[in-house]
Amino acid sequence: MKYCPEKEDSGDKLLPGEFFTWGKGPDGQPKWFLFAAPDGTNICVAINGQKMGNGEVGWQFNNDNEAPTLSPSIWCHAPTDWHGWITNGQMTTC
């Protein structure tokens, strides 16, 4: 995966495998992780204890922009149907 902080402000769509984080929680850690799934769909998930819209706590992020890891797996039903892992900078589809 490739960290693309410049895309946060540009409004450009991420390409498959690109990501960035933004927002800061009370602990100074990023709150959101936006990435492009293998089909190019941009997906945003809550990280580092931030809650999703349904009230569930989001994913744990290792705060490593060179080799990001999120846990547990991500299962997205909309806007695309993708289930997989982001581990050590690699996206793996189930």
Residue-wise pLDDT tens digits, 14-49:
888 889 888 887 778 888 888 988 888 888 888 877
| CA nearest neighbour of 84 among 28, 35, 46 | 35
Which of these ranges, 2-11, 15-24, 39-48, 82-91, has the smallest mean pLDDT?
2-11
CB crowding 9-20: b at 16 or more within 10 Å, else e: eeeeebeebbbb
Residue-wise pLDDT tens digits, 48-80:
777 777 777 788 899 898 999 999 999 988 788
